[in-house]
Chains A and B, each alone.
Chain A
Amino acid sequence: MRTLTRVLEGIGSTLQLLVRSLSHVPTLPRQWGRFIEQCYLIGYTTLPIVAILSFFIGSVLALQSGYSMENFGAKQFIGSLVGLSIARELGPVMCAILLAGRVGSAIAAELASMKVYQEIDALETMNIPPARILVLPRLAAVLVMMPVLAIIANLVGWFGGAIVAKYTDFIAIDPPAYFAALRRFMEFKDVLNGLIKAEVFGFAVVLVSCNIGLNTRGGPREIGASVTRAVVTSLILILVLDYFVTKALL
């Protein structure tokens, strides 16, 4: 019962934070510097890990599908399988998980420590809403950066699959054949679905992390607890949202 109350409390406070943040949208142009800084942290610094992870996700996918599809002579469709899997599902989800781990945790830690060390209270005392200068730039930044990260994840994943498909002995499919198969069964709609999903996940991760960070109560120990909670909640939220967004977009 207590858990349920906490979950409902979390949902409610998150929605409240969202509404408060959106009410400050007109102030966004005046916060350009903060916006760029958050873009840098969320997008640019996350790129390497996204690229590495996507490359190996694509490679493993090609390897596994090649291994299993070889049994029934469907090797030439590896490109289609890898392409569709990454574009529609793995690219956005892996991006969002990395975002939760790298950015979500950082946001929660930063805001939780600001809360614990009463910086948030100080801001409120100065009549500066934390939603305006701490939450809104992050939300705007994630909305702009998430599609960029997701498309890079897609392309790097596809190339990873292509390289493995060419240099693995039992697959041995040349990149032109691989990309022809990829193109044959894919439309831009599939990629767009993935980008929309990435956008939704990224937004949810940042919003939840901000909310958990701002709602930290107690001493410095709570900072760590808030970070853990932010990451766990984000991961659960990503997978739950994944189902519903996929269903809605089909």
Chain B
Amino acid sequence: MQNSQQTARVGLFFILGVALIWVTFETLSGGKVFKDQGYNIVAGFTSLKELKTGDEVRMAGVKIGEVEKTRLAGRRAEALLRISPDVKIKADATATIVMAGLIGTNYISIDLGTDAAAELRDGAEIRTATTPDLNAVMSQIGELGKKIEGALGNLGGALSGDGKSPGIIQKVDQLVTENRENIAQTTGNLRSITDKMNRGEGTLGKLINDPVLYTDLQSALGEIRGGAAEAKTFIANAQSILDEVKRGKGAIGALVYDQKAADDLKASIANFRTVSDNLAKGKGTLGQLLNDDTLIRDTRAIMRKADRALDGLDDAGPLTAVGVVANGLF
């Protein structure tokens, strides 16, 4: 009896141990014993980075499943995701690998997608997007650092020279050294000029130091300002005249904008031209008066005759005056 009891205890103990090992194995290796069935979706990436079996799958931060398996499929890496059966993933949702901490914990984040899209079924593939990982960012920062270093090196080289050709600072130094006398002279001149200006000598000095000049300048400016105001008024008047003209008011307005007035003017000019042509050709009374000198000669002869008749009238007395005039005329 004692012996069989011992055997039973050992057997029980052993079975307990084996069961515990099995439970541990199932729990740590992603077995399905304690999980609901759910469904699988496939997410393909160029690199799974630090993602490993058992990592979480989250939608909007809520855990909805986990990575069941990671595998290489041709030229890409695939993660098989186990999703809870009560969570529906839309076909336009996108999966990304997100880093949860600096020590290499990752999870897959799936966005909500749109309501209108269909739902992903078991075995379907979800759209994925690649996020830059820490290493990429670090290498970019490194490259940036190199560029800045290069730029600063170039600047330093330009300033201090590269051993063969002198840099800017050396060139400036050389320039200053070579032209020391000229610079001293120039600064001396500048100093004497500024001294003179300070003392109020010369035009600039007076401008700076003499209050009269300032007053004159002030009044001149006032006059210029008045002239400008008048010019402004003049321009305003001209503008108002132009506006009137544009509206067709006044003679010029009528001339410019009234077709009838323009036509009348054209006709008048044409008439005037005809008259002047006739005058030039000697047509009509005025034409003849202008072009034919016989009229003036006749007029002169009449005047002479009248003169003589008047002389005769003086002699014959007033009573015969009418007879003399009539005689002289006919």
Using a CB–CB cutoff of 8 Å, the interface residues on chain A facing chain B are 33, 36-37, 39-40, 43-44, 47, 144-145, 147-149, 151-152, 154-155, 183-184, 186-188, 190-191, 195
CB distance from A122 to the nearest CB of B (A): 24
Question: Which one of A37, A145, A187 contacts B29 once the chains associate, using CB atoms below 8 Å?
Answer: A187
Whether A155 lies near B24 (C-beta < 8 A) is yes
Interface residue count for B (Cβ, 8 Å)? 20
Apart from A36-B3, A36-B6, A148-B21: 4 A-B pairs, beta carbons within 8 A = A37-B6, A40-B6, A152-B17, A188-B29
**Main secondary structure on chain B at its contact with chain A?**
helix
CB distance from B8 to the nearest CB of A (A): 10
What residues of chain A lie closer than 8 Å to B14, measured between beta carbons?
39, 43, 144-145, 148
Whether B54 lies near A40 (C-beta < 8 A) is no
Whether A183 lies near B54 (C-beta < 8 A) is yes
Indicate if B221 sits at the interface (CB-CB under 8 A).
no
CB distance from B172 to the nearest CB of A (A): 54
Q: How far is the CA of A239 from the CA of B223 in the complex (A)?
A: 110
The 7 closest A-B pairs by CB, nearest first: A148-B17, A39-B10, A188-B28, A188-B29, A151-B20, A188-B25, A40-B6
Interface residues as binary, B1-43 with A (CB distance below 8 Å gives 1, 0 otherwise): 0010011011001101110110011011100000000000000
Closest chain A residue to B107, Cβ basis: A184
Whether A191 lies near B24 (C-beta < 8 A) is yes
Whether A147 lies near B24 (C-beta < 8 A) is no
Q: How far is the CA of A33 from the CA of B7 in the complex (A)?
A: 8
Whether B10 lies near A187 (C-beta < 8 A) is no
Whether B7 lies near A36 (C-beta < 8 A) is yes
Q: How far is the CA of A187 from the CA of B314 in the complex (A)?
A: 166
Whether B3 lies near A43 (C-beta < 8 A) is no
CB distance from A73 to the nearest CB of B (A): 11
Whether B24 lies near A149 (C-beta < 8 A) is no
Q: How far is the CA of A13 from the CA of B197 in the complex (A)?
A: 117
Which among B14, B24, B105 has the highest number of chain A CB atoms within 10 Å? B24
Whether B13 lies near A47 (C-beta < 8 A) is yes
Whether A191 lies near B10 (C-beta < 8 A) is no
Closest chain A residue to B55, Cβ basis: A184
Q: How far is the CA of A145 from the CA of B9 in the complex (A)?
A: 12
Whether B3 lies near A33 (C-beta < 8 A) is yes
CB distance from B283 to the nearest CB of A (A): 123
Q: How far is the CA of A136 from the CA of B133 in the complex (A)?
A: 57
What residues of chain A lie closer than 8 Å to B20, measured between beta carbons?
148, 151-152, 155
Question: Which one of B10, B27, B29, B55 contacts A36 once the chains associate, using CB atoms below 8 Å?
Answer: B10
Question: Which one of A36, A37, A44, A151 contacts B24 once the chains associate, using CB atoms below 8 Å?
Answer: A151
CB distance from B106 to the nearest CB of A (A): 10
Closest chain B residue to A185, Cβ basis: B105
Question: Which residues of B in the span 53-70 have a Cβ within 8 Å of any Cβ on A?
Answer: 54-55
Whether A187 lies near B28 (C-beta < 8 A) is yes
Q: How far is the CA of A149 from the CA of B17 in the complex (A)?
A: 7
What residues of chain B lie closer than 8 Å to A154, measured between beta carbons?
24
What residues of chain A lie closer than 8 Å to B3, measured between beta carbons?
33, 36
Q: How far is the CA of A184 from the CA of B106 in the complex (A)?
A: 10
Whether B9 lies near A40 (C-beta < 8 A) is yes
Whether A40 lies near B24 (C-beta < 8 A) is no
CB distance from B63 to the nearest CB of A (A): 9
What residues of chain A lie closer than 8 Å to B29, measured between beta carbons?
187-188
Whether B16 lies near A148 (C-beta < 8 A) is yes
A-B contact pairs, 23 of them (CB 8 A): A33-B3, A36-B3, A36-B6, A40-B6, A40-B9, A40-B10, A43-B13, A44-B9, A44-B13, A145-B14, A147-B17, A147-B21, A148-B13, A148-B16, A148-B21, A151-B20, A151-B21, A152-B16, A152-B17, A183-B27, A184-B55, A187-B29, A191-B25
